[in-house]
Structure 1
C-alpha cells in the first residue's frame, strides 16, 4: 500500500476517534488508536504509519516510537486537518 495513502487514512481515523485539545488540535491517545478494531483492519503496521506521518509533520507525539501498553496514554496530535 502507498504510504501517502496510509497517512491520509491515519488522519481520517484520528479525526474519527479523537477530540479537540486545549490548542484546538485533534488529539487521540495511542492506546485508543492501537486497540480500535477498524484501525487494526486498516493498518498492517500502525507504528510504522505513525512514524511516517510524524516524519512528514502531519502528526506529532512524544518520543520516537510508540509501543502498546507502555505508551497507551501518549497523545497523538494531528498537526494538519
Structure 2
C-alpha cells in the first residue's frame, strides 16, 4: 500500500500476498467501525481517502477466493 502516510488517495500493491484479479477493500477506524468499502478493486487503482479524518486506520483486502490481508494506514 502506498503512499503511507497518505492524504488524498492510496493504491494497494499486493506483491502476490493475495493473487487475485480483483479485491474487496474495507477501511476501518481504530474502534473497528467500517468507514469505507470498495468492491472490485484492481491493483494499481487509486482509492479515495480524502473524506477520512486524520488518524490511523486498518485496510482489509479480501480476494475472490476469500484470502485476506490487513495493513495499517496513516491518514494525514
Quick check: which one's strand share is greater?
2
Common fold by TM > 0.5:
no
TM-score scaled to structure 1, two decimals?
A: 0.30
TM-score scaled to structure 2, two decimals?
A: 0.31
